[in-house]
Structures are given as C-alpha cells and as structure tokens.
Amino acid sequence: MNISYCIEKLVPNALYNTNQTSDQEIDEEFYNNIQWLDSRDKPSWYDIKVEWFNYLKEYKDNEICKIRDEKIAEGIPYTFPDGILGYVQTRDMIDHRNIQANGSAAQTLLMLGQTEQIMYFRDIENEIHVLYPHQMLDMCMFCMAYGQNIYANSWLHKDAVKSINIIEDDVDTALEQIINYDIYNNWSNLQQYIE
C-alpha cells in the first residue's frame, strides 16, 4: 500500500481536529486506520509522519493561493473623489483589464494636456463616479498597490511554510510547526487601505 494514499485518504480528517486532539490520540487513530494493511507493506511510523508532513506543507501552500485569489476577487475598497466609499470589481481578468484600460486612458489624456476631461467609473454597487484624468489614474494606481499587497502577504506566508523543515530527523517538531502555522492570520494590513 502506498504511503501517500494513506496520508491523502486518512489525514485530512485530522487536519481540523488538531486543537482538540492530542498528538498521541491522532497517532493512535491513524495507526488504527491502517491496521488492515499487510504487516509487510506497513510503513514505519517515521515514514508515515514524514509523508504527513509533506502532505500538510503542500496543502497549506495551496490554501494560501486560494486565500490570495479570494481576497483579490472580493473587490477593492476605494473612496472616490465624490466622497463615496465603493468597491472596484476585480472578479476576473476582464475586470483587471478594465482597470488597466482606464489607467492608460487617463495617462494619455494627461500627456495630451487634457486635464479637465471628464471620465466615468461604475463601481461594484453600480454607482457611477465622475473623475478627472489624474483622479482616475490615482484610483488605478491604488488598485495596483492593493493587489500587490495581497501578493506580498501571500509570499510571506508561502516563505514561512517553505522554511518549516525536518531538521536532524526531528519530524515531530516539524509536524507541530506546520500544523500550528496559521495561514489565515496576518493579512490584516489590508485594512490600511480601507481606513
């Protein structure tokens, strides 16, 4: 029996119970779940834990990507020149291209000296805002910075997960570190863009 198969089928159920289940109880439960394996095929405890660690590391890295994409797709809070707090849609590539197109148009108008040209932008609540080219450019630059900040947060989390390794065969410590690492925390500096 493949160790990876054991991990993939049996470990996910324990991922969400680590706060209320001791390591010993998890080990015993996991061991009971693989008792039906032929003894000749049964992997060592160390091999099981190493595979478990690798599984959790990959799992958390993938979850970071999901959180990043969800935060980007939520939309970007922005206080428009008319004083209304709205959200810029960022659901997909079409929305992102729309932001880029508005930014390019604003830059072109500014280069041509048409600083008083009226531009319009419809937010996620379907509220239409009137902007001058420099205001449109400011909004687009803000959106770019907001998205870059989300990516920067995701890179920090990914680097933190990547830095957790098994040192000198101490798989128990590595498992504890990867289980306890909170990928849902420390995205809070996005709040500075809303306030």
Same domain? For 156 and 121 the reply is: no
> For 126-157, what is each residue's pLDDT tens digit?
999 999 999 999 999 999 999 889 999 999 99
Residue 39 in this model has a pLDDT that exceeds 80: no
Which residue has better confidence, 73 or 6? 73
77 falls within a domain = no
> Given phi > 0 = left and psi -120 to 50 = alpha, else beta, which region is 179?
alpha
The Cα 167–Cα 48 span in angstroms is 16
Q: Give 151's contacts (C-beta < 8 A, 6+ positions apart).
A: 68
Give residue 55's domain range. Answer: 3-72+152-193
Same domain? For 133 and 167 the reply is: no
Task: Give the pLDDT confidence score for residue 42 in this predicted structure.
Answer: 56
According to DSSP, the residues that pair with 191 across neighbouring strands are none
Same domain? For 57 and 9 the reply is: yes
**Span 48-71, average pLDDT:** 90
Task: Give the pLDDT confidence score for residue 26 in this predicted structure.
Answer: 47
Task: Give the pLDDT confidence score for residue 189 in this predicted structure.
Answer: 56
Residue 57 in this model has a pLDDT that exceeds 60: yes
Task: Give the pLDDT confidence score for residue 105 in this predicted structure.
Answer: 96
Domain count, the chain: 2
Same domain? For 101 and 67 the reply is: no
Residue 47 in this model has a pLDDT that exceeds 70: yes
Same domain? For 111 and 157 the reply is: no
Name the residue type at position 116. Answer: E
Same domain? For 7 and 66 the reply is: yes
Same domain? For 42 and 14 the reply is: yes
For residue 56, give both structure tokens.
């959790």
162 falls within a domain = yes
> For 68-123, what is each residue's pLDDT tens digit?
999 988 899 999 999 999 999 998 888 999 999 999 999 999 999 999 999 999 99
**Span 161-181, average pLDDT:** 90
Q: pTM higher than 0.85 for the full model?
A: no
160 falls within a domain = yes
Same domain? For 13 and 45 the reply is: yes
**Residue 48 banded pLDDT, cuts 50, 70, 90:** confident
Task: Give the pLDDT confidence score for residue 28 in this predicted structure.
Answer: 54
Residue 27 in this model has a pLDDT that exceeds 90: no
67 falls within a domain = yes
Same domain? For 113 and 162 the reply is: no
Q: Give 90's contacts (C-beta < 8 A, 6+ positions apart).
A: 72, 73, 74, 75, 76, 96, 99, 143, 147
Same domain? For 92 and 183 the reply is: no
Same domain? For 137 and 45 the reply is: no
Helices (H) and strands (E) in the chain, counts: 7, 4
